[in-house]
Structure 1
């Protein structure tokens, strides 16, 4: 910094010397122009006088000296042409001098504009002459900048640094940004313009750091808009300050802003991944909640069945006791028949108990495919899984007050590994998932024929209903049309 200030002071001194030299040149040019003008005027006067004298003499001696007069006249005409050529040459030289003067005037104006910054620095910061302080600050600045002013002075604690992949992507973008900054830095040859460029770069990078730091999962669009507004702001400032550099600044920002936007998208990828992780945790918790609820329901079913079993076993015991004492053949036959019925009931209950244990301890259950035409249209389906003994109970829950109409069931597939079957179907339709962040929302875009083919490939024996009944929705539409016709 000290070196730059010294150079600026020397530049100011040189400028003053050039201004003095320029004034001398202007004075000499003015004197030369006057001399040339006087010479031209005298030459023209002389030519006019000599021409008149020669013509007069020629007329008087025309009769006697025609040959001599013609010869002299020819010589005089040649002399006149030569003088005119010399005059034109002088005028051309004068024009060249004027052009040189114009160039010098422009150069003087440029030097004068660049010296304004130096004068203001001296006027506003008289303490800047304390070179010791400046040298100390310069050393601190150079140490902090590392490779130069094109580096970001302050790097905030951004989230992409926590990911090896995102950090690699961001480093690649930063290299592209530095490449652009370096390429445009070389276009500024004067120290004043290069200083302004460096200040602009520092401002742009600070703005980018702020945008990245304030980024969140919900404000990506705002961050991208801020990057665009940043470019518009700098274009406005440059256009208002010096319109001649506007085309260059426009090209510069048109290359830089897309890289800024990529930086924002890389940082945003962290929030997307975090949101996915949160949703996965929510999905797991929701799955655990559903499993706990299903376990509770299965336990209720088990207790209910055990009570029924206890009732049947008690009746069997009573009937056996009666049978042991009965002597009437008709009553004995009736008791035997009843005992047979009770034993069959107990066997069914045992099967139900085994099914409950299987559901509670394993992955058995139903995978369902359902739709809701009135709520979601004809190309959106929910594919889920339940361990309920009666899977329709789960479908009724989904069609509660949270949606305007009940769901239609297209398929209900029983599987010993319902969890795996559900995951397989979800993976098959992964590209068509409606909500790609919250995986608990098990809705997928598809047509009914495609879903039927998927189910048939899994289990050809499963009955698949392609019709969307949507009774409540169609009845509601019919009532609406009737009212419309009455009106």
Structure 2
């Protein structure tokens, strides 16, 4: 029993010893792990110790920021105080400146009056100095100084004499339409005639009241004689000039009157400077202007009336053409109907061999009847439309040269009749047709084309002539842009002209060979 107890005790001691050893091992491991952890913490603390200064700086920044905010509040309060003070001072300065400005304005007014007085005095003194200088110059230079002052006047006299001797040529030509452009669109011949009458009455009034001329004679009788002499001489020349208004250009006539004024005044110097006044010269020039305007407007109205009458004649010819075409078409229809009725009877009575022939004849007659009806309907339709017609583009190389085209309009049923009419004895060669364009409103189309090619007109004075210096390709391109399709012949045949050139060359060759 004791043995079992001892054995149990020994086993217990062994178990306790083994457990103690295991516990000691565990404790040692725990202590080792704790020491390792402590070392790691020490390492971390050692690493973090480097950032201690940053933490201190952050604290310092917070402190500085707080101080700056406090300082800013103080500065803001000081600024507001200074601003208030400045506003008060500005108001005081503004009041002082307004007062100073008022005083300055008063001073300026005083100085301006003084300046005006000084300037007036200076001008008077300068005039006197110039007058004294002129007198002194005349005393020193005599006739030479006077000749220098009269240089321009002498040049005008020489130019006037040269014009009278050599003629005026083309150097003074002024387009007459320039005068008409100054007038209103509705200004007609009658109004121009009224203005011409007024200008003549003004000239007459100036002569009757001694405003046409002047001279240095004191004695009334001599003065009257001298003034009448230069006035009659000038008026005689001007009246002669005005009588040529119908045939001479406005610019040339104006220069002739101006030259007459200069030459008559030159002759009048011998009668104590008896001269025509510039005002009377202008009055006579106004007469010229209105005389030319009245003549040109009258011619313009005549031309318009001529064109209206020509248009009426053209429309009358067209009407007759339409009526003739309608009658002929109706007559043709009637005849064809009779022939068809006769052919139908023949067809009914014909044998089998003849039927084919009569049926073919009936078909042919039916086709001709349809064409006649269409022709009749077309003529009737055109007669009812007052604006329908053809716009033509034609050329005449032999008469007018290359790239010159007439753009016109006709209402004839056969528009080529108009082209043949234009190529009559008034031109040496016939016209070539480049395009014949039918339009429901031919006058409108013609007007549009004339406006487009306005700058290309050959006759700038009379646009009704309808001739244009332009490339045929440009005309074709423009018409195509308008959406109008038509047939074109781009090259002018000019048959008669080219054959005439060939004959002329042969004649020259024959003459050279004979010689």
Give TM-score scaled by structure 2 length. 0.52
Q: Map of 1:85-100 to 2, 5 A cutoff?
A: none
Match of 2:449 among 422, 425, 429: 425
Contact 2:403/2:471 (<8 A) preserved: yes
Contact 2:343/2:358 (<8 A) preserved: yes
Contact 2:432/2:493 (<8 A) preserved: yes
Matched, 1:282 2:311: no
Matched, 1:163 2:186: no
Matched, 1:399 2:423: yes
Partners of 1:270 and 1:481 in 2: CA distance: 51
User: Structure 1's 258 and 225: CA in aligned 2 closer, same or farther, altered over 3 A?
Assistant: same
Following TM superposition, by how much is the alpha carbon of 1:260 offset from its aligned partner in structure 2, in angstroms? 3.8
Q: Map of 1:332-481 to 2, 5 A cutoff?
A: 332-362=355-385, 363-435=387-459, 441-481=465-505
User: Structure 1's 203 and 369: CA in aligned 2 closer, same or farther, altered over 3 A?
Assistant: same
SS in 1 for 2:477: helix
- Corresponding residue number in structure 2 for 1:49: none
Larger Rg: 2
CA offsets 1:128-167 (integer angstroms, 9 cap, x no match): xxxxxxxxxxxxxxxxxxxxxxxxxxxxxxx999417973
Q: Map of 1:145-164 to 2, 5 A cutoff?
A: 162-163=190-191
Cα-Cα RMSD: 4.3
Partners of 1:409 and 1:219 in 2: CA distance: 37
User: Structure 1's 369 and 302: CA in aligned 2 closer, same or farther, altered over 3 A?
Assistant: same
- Corresponding residue number in structure 1 for 2:268: 238
Contact 1:279/1:439 (<8 A) preserved: no
Matched, 1:322 2:346: yes
Following TM superposition, by how much is the alpha carbon of 1:275 offset from its aligned partner in structure 2, in angstroms? 0.6
Contact 1:367/1:384 (<8 A) preserved: yes
Unaligned ranges ≥5, structure 2 = 1-138, 140-186
- Corresponding residue number in structure 1 for 2:109: none
User: Structure 1's 262 and 408: CA in aligned 2 closer, same or farther, altered over 3 A?
Assistant: farther
CA offsets 1:28-84 (integer angstroms, 9 cap, x no match): xxxxxxxxxxxxxxxxxxxxxxxxxxxxxxxxxxxxxxxxxxxxxxxxxxxxxxxxx
Partners of 1:229 and 1:447 in 2: CA distance: 45
Contact 1:368/1:409 (<8 A) preserved: yes
User: Structure 1's 188 and 408: CA in aligned 2 closer, same or farther, altered over 3 A?
Assistant: same
Q: Map of 1:31-46 to 2, 5 A cutoff?
A: none
CA offsets 1:324-363 (integer angstroms, 9 cap, x no match): 444x344334433332322221111111001111222322
Contact 1:374/1:405 (<8 A) preserved: yes
Contact 2:391/2:442 (<8 A) preserved: yes
The size of the alignment, in residue pairs, is: 320
User: Structure 1's 239 and 197: CA in aligned 2 closer, same or farther, altered over 3 A?
Assistant: closer
Following TM superposition, by how much is the alpha carbon of 1:431 offset from its aligned partner in structure 2, in angstroms? 4.7
Match of 1:291 among 315, 322, 329: 315
Q: Which moved more, 1:440-449 or 1:352-361?
A: 440-449
- Corresponding residue number in structure 1 for 2:247: 218
Q: Map of 1:26-65 to 2, 5 A cutoff?
A: none
